[in-house]
Amino acid sequence: MIHNEVLDCIRSRRSTRQFKEEQIKEEELEALLEAAVWAPSGSNSQSWLFTAVQNQETLAKLNGLVKEGFQRWVPDDDYPGKLGVKASAQKEGWNFFHHAPTLIIASNRPNYENAMADCALALENLFLAANSLGLGSCYINQLHWLRHDPEVREFLFELGIPKEHTICSSAAVGYIAKESVVPPRKEGTVRIIK
């Protein structure tokens, strides 16, 4: 097995789901956003928008709107876990970004087939950068699922995310309160043809 800083950072990155309340430093946020925008993008579009939300009242309001949105929401496919999240969203204390102090929302222009791919690559850059700085991070899907919910979209519009943008994903970021267990990687998902 080859070891270097990048490969070890890739191996040790985990999805964090328990964060400290303490906010991350300004320069840490800047480094994460910079890592995101250095990702590749189709035809060098760079049409993404990364909106970092650190205001706790705003985050609490957004969590409330997502909770309400899930009551109206009907999953449109059989993605595992969607129905489970819809149910658990109604529980007391549920928080879709695991109470992280920072949520970075990745959106992209409409009618662009690489919108998700570009944002996903950017978020992986951001996750690895977070790991390299000793921060925890987690991919958060719920805003993508509720991207057509009128009340969630109105609030995101108030935060400056254009109405026509598609909401691709988001990233929860903060200091790690509890390390996540390492989910083993499945066998047989890689082939080499020589």
Ligand X SMILES: Cc1cc2nc3c(=O)[nH]c(=O)nc-3n(C[C@H](O)[C@H](O)[C@H](O)COP(=O)(O)O)c2cc1C
Separation CA 85–CA 100 (nearest Å): 18
CB closer to ligand X, 24 vs 176: 176
The nearer residue to ligand X, 146 or 161, going by C-beta atoms, is 146
> How far is CA 191 from each of CA 7, 109, 161, rounded to the nearest angstrom?
20, 35, 41
What the block records as the tokens of 78 is: 């059989």
From the number of C-beta atoms within 10 Å of its C-beta (0-12, 13-18, 19+), residue 137 rates as: buried
Q: Name the minimum Å distance from CB 117 to ligand X.
A: 11
User: Which residues of this protein are in contact with ligand X, per CB under 6 A?
Assistant: 14-15, 17, 138-142, 180, 183
Q: CB of residue 129 vs ligand X: minimum separation in angstroms?
A: 15
Three-state DSSP class for 176? strand
**Residue 154 vs 179, nearer CB to ligand X:** 179
Taking the CB of residue 104, how many other CB atoms lie within 10 A of it? Answer: 26
CB of 35 to ligand X, least distance (A): 17
Tell me the closest approach of the beta carbon of residue 77 to ligand X, in angstroms: 13
Kindly tell me which of 26 and 84 has the beta carbon lying closer to ligand X: 84
What is the arrangement of strands in the sheet containing 49-53, beginning at the earlier edge strand?
49-53, 102-108, 166-174, 136-140
